[in-house]
Structure 1
């Protein structure tokens, strides 16, 4: 335990006083240099009892005395914590500064004292939220973990929100870790407030799609469609009845979640080979202009969905064997950003391998875009890139271009390793079977020739 409160106060202040005398600063001069009112300064250093100082004031002392950031932080804890009280106005800024200057030791000393009273879990949650809102996402993780590890009520708002924040923060490119993250968070998704639940379902559908968990992605897409429709009807009713209360605040416009529910429903059906069923859901987000709650941002989203719907309609036609529109589709892809080009070429390559037609001219036409596919670092982009390279390997081997086929296969193995999808390695290694089949054909032809 900590020593007597007065002892630590004097220890903190004696260090400051020692530096003041060393520099021969009067209270007036020190006040001038630190920006602290001389009267307040006297109360902080000589008051009985002394006036508590803020972490900003301690940092001002450190700067004036030429000390490093985090100076005397180990002695500052008692300004915030004692057996009798906890000062949230001083504690939270102090812990945030500990994070910023790397004083992990001070955090580890303060947290156990806080957790002696379960009510203080809310302080740690508040701290985590402030870090999260400031964009210090990785720094917020330990505090959300403290909440999850110590809160016994798994239905409490701060417990569920901590689960959600961790889910969002730790998503990366590692397939196994992302799947574990989905499993860990998904049981809590329906306990979130509706505004966060919309985004959680979207993220779950998205990451499961990248993980090629088609049925799970479809499940979350269905949940998202239902919830977005329910929220839309509720908000529309509230607006028409002029009911009091603020509109539901969501991370993206509500029309985005409505459209994404149908988009992920369509693409998961596509990946399961259910092209005709997928077309029905594409039609829903082809034109969302009927949505009655649109503002400028909402209208922009509607236009984006029009683009995606047109591209996905082409995709489904090509995958269904309609090769007559390949050139038209390629012309359309020319007007789209690189990530959409990648998705489109995926469909064209898969169709070419299924229906055995040549797309060499298209590959040459999009050579510069294909060369830039390495720019994708997010899970769904990497997954698309991997699937494209797999189709490319099949195509090149099928054309008898062995060296290119080998290059594409090695590319697949490299991307699978990056995504930590080592269980798929045999799938890509099996591509080398083209070599064996080709050698057999050559050998048979030589025998017939002789």
Structure 2
């Protein structure tokens, strides 16, 4: 039976394992890559040399221990005579989060928060986790910051609200919308560079949720801010003074163009096709943009491509089906646009009652791969495609095939936890129940009983969304 924690220390445990293995300090240094002199100072100096968390991990590996070995005892390295060692505690908490040592996190955080000034340490931990891609693991630390920081205008507080919004985005539409509501009041308190990113993210999230008025609101704000920042950057450059680089996730031209693109798509999705065309024209040619480099030029070319695609979309949705052969050739040239393009084509076929059997056959191989596109926007497009295709097949009297498509749509809406779409799909299946096979009824029952369906709602089909980033 092992010693109780009160009788154990980090160094006594290391020494015990050294003896059990018969390792010398030189051998341990060889196995861990730690300088043998440093190993000696860690174990024998008075006061002892501090151990870094990476050194403890290396020792654990040398002793064939599981990740997180002795983490419950490492706390003593982080606190000394009432002072906190930031260089040791930040990597320690990051590592605890990465391997799931919540017990250690809770113990250390409770001590840190005895002094509210230590909130900066928790913010640093959250930022390191977020920037390394561990978004979910960063959430508790941002929440600690938000709960502790008293000034809701402080940059650290507002950035934590923004990061939390980004971290909580996912395929659950209800939770995603809750994240939007929670962050929305703080968006204008962010520094301009973060605000550009935030407005783009807010507009994109609302696009996937088909909240068109909100997409318009954020797109309008994005265009206005991008224009202000652009003019400010131009003035600074022309003054010939040194200009600090604008630190944003994307090139400035992206925010400018996306403001117009998202506004156009929101209008299109509300049936305001002629008004939408004016916004497409605004991003079709951005070669006049003066703040440009190779990255910016590539982005301008993308906007040119998306404008072409979205003009095809608007033509199709207003009944100009003569351009369909050109549209198909365009999609052949740009395979990444096939999924949103087919949403438009099938929707137009349903609206204006023309056959697209040959189009569906032409793109059959691409359609078979739609499930491989699993990001939120592609899943949204995929769900819209299946719903429109089901209606197209029902109109042609192909009930078995149509029911298969609505089942696919039902599963996709369940995956996204999009309850309005789920309910609309269920109603469409039920309306054609007399044509369903026993297997289709069984599949329907399995999906329907998998989770609760909430809230009555109307399924609104989104636009093609060429260029959503």
Which of residues 348, 360, 363 is equivalent to 2:360?
363
Match of 1:235 in 2: 233
Structure 1: distance between partners of 2:61 and 2:411 = 50
Match of 2:341 in 1: 344
SS of the equivalent of 1:288 reads: coil
1:23 Cα deviation (Å)?
4.2
Which of residues 194, 197, 205 is equivalent to 2:195?
197
Match of 2:460 in 1: none
SS of the equivalent of 2:51 reads: coil
For the structure 1 residues 206 and 27, does the alpha-carbon distance in structure 2 shift closer, same or farther, using more than 3 Å as the test? closer
Structure 2: distance between partners of 1:17 and 1:289 = 67
Unmatched 5+ stretches in structure 2 = 436-469
Match of 1:388 in 2: 385
Instruction: Report whether the alignment pairs 1:84 with 2:82.
Output: yes
Q: If the length of structure 2 is used for normalisation, what is the TM-score?
A: 0.86
Match of 1:444 in 2: none
* Bigger RCO of structures 1 and 2 (CA < 8 A, at least 6 apart): 2
Match of 2:134 in 1: 136
Which of residues 14, 21, 27 is equivalent to 1:16?
14
For 1:73-222, list aligned pairs within 5 A.
73-82=71-80, 84-222=82-220
Q: If the length of structure 1 is used for normalisation, what is the TM-score?
A: 0.89
Instruction: Report whether the alignment pairs 1:376 with 2:406.
Output: no
Instruction: Report whether the alignment pairs 1:420 with 2:417.
Output: yes
**Residues 265-301 of structure 1, C-alpha deviation per residue, up to 9 Å, x if partnerless?**
0000000000000000000111111100110000000
Root-mean-square deviation (CA, aligned residues, Å) is 2.4
Unmatched 5+ stretches in structure 1 = 1-6, 439-450
**Residues 255-274 of structure 1, C-alpha deviation per residue, up to 9 Å, x if partnerless?**
11111110000000000000
For 1:50-89, list aligned pairs within 5 A.
50-82=48-80, 84-89=82-87
1:191 Cα deviation (Å)?
1.2
SS of the equivalent of 2:291 reads: coil
Conserved 8 A contact 1:253-1:298: yes
Which structure has the bigger radius of gyration? 1
1:38 Cα deviation (Å)?
5.0
Q: Which runs of 4+ in 1 moved over 6 A?
A: 7-10
In the alignment of these two chains, the number of paired residues is 431
1:64 Cα deviation (Å)?
3.8
Q: Is the deviation greater in 382-391 or in 300-309?
A: 382-391
Match of 1:263 in 2: 261
Conserved 8 A contact 2:237-2:243: no
Structure 2: distance between partners of 1:209 and 1:234 = 29
Match of 2:245 in 1: 247
Structure 1: distance between partners of 2:268 and 2:9 = 69
1:322 Cα deviation (Å)?
1.1
Structure 2: distance between partners of 1:396 and 1:300 = 40
Match of 2:448 in 1: none
Structure 1: distance between partners of 2:31 and 2:339 = 59
Conserved 8 A contact 1:73-1:106: yes
1:14 Cα deviation (Å)?
2.3
